[in-house]
A and B are shown apart, each in its own frame.
Chain A
Amino acid sequence: MAEVRIPTILRPYTGGERAVSATGGTVAEIIDDLEANHEGIKERLLDGDDVRRFVNIYVDDEDIRFTGGLDTTVGDSASIVILPAVAGGAADIGAAGAPR
């Protein structure tokens, strides 16, 4: 059972909980388990088959972009953190990568 830290903006999906438990051997399975208990959250994390550009997911403090993405292995007592990127700027990059 992994612990998943939920950022403020996604807490409406977890009834306000800052952290929830989830099971799965990979990040993809963890996200499916989150979706089963907190419907709608998956769409906020994924864009098709990939993690959204401006969403960061960490397993045991490692950004999964560097550890195999959604296939990253999740240990039994792993600590998972979800954080929306803090980003912006004058350039208009469109809404495609946005977390909402």
Chain B
Amino acid sequence: MLTIDRATYDAIVAHARRDHPDEACGVVAGPAGSDRPTRFIPMLNAAMSPTFYEFDSGDLLRLYREMDDNDEEPVVIYHSHTATEAHPSRTDINLASEPNAHYVLVSTRDGAAVEGAEIEFRSFRIVDGVATEEEVRVVERYTDVPSNLTTDEPDTTQKAED
């Protein structure tokens, strides 16, 4: 399950809408081992394409150095699909290289790029070529939930689609 705070969720959605009809991409870093996405880092889509995204290789190196220096890891790796569902494509699955990350997909198709419209926001683990969907739990703030929990279900749970 992905637990994400409302502000970060909103920032991902806003980025996807802003870059529509191109795919938007980025990372939410968090303290290593915490499974808590805390630092929102929108990235430039160097491919500037409606059907493909890629971090610029220089940006990628700086990002990983920064995370290393901060003892962080990429807890969430997100991108948007702009004309298809928020589900990993074969390309996404083939290129996924962070087995510990939550791969978040947002779809801005069918008018979802408009602010206030309903939007698909889904999360997947992608390991050894297999994508497995997981629940997304949006919390108002992380202080409401214990760190790195795996099974507890506090009452603050909200459905991501709301």
Partner-B contacts on A (CB < 8 A): 7-9, 54, 56, 58, 61, 63, 65, 81, 83-95, 98-100
Contacts and interface: CB of A to CB of B under 8 A. Distances in A.
Nearest to B129: A100
Contacts, number: 98
7 tightest CB-CB pairs across the interface, nearest first? A84-B97, A91-B51, A89-B52, A88-B92, A87-B54, A98-B94, A86-B55
8 contacts: A84-B97, A85-B60, A86-B43, A89-B47, A90-B51, A90-B81, A90-B83, A100-B94
Interface residues of B, number: 36
Contact of B92 (A65, A89, A99): A89
Interface in B17-62: 23, 25, 27, 43, 47, 49-55, 57-58, 60-61
A81 B65 CA distance: 10
B84 interface: yes
A89 B53 contact: yes
A86 B43 CA distance: 10
Q: Is the interface of A mostly helix, strand, loop or mixed?
A: loop
Contacts of B99: 8-9
B79 A88 contact: yes
B117 interface: no
Contacts of B27: 86
A92 B90 contact: yes
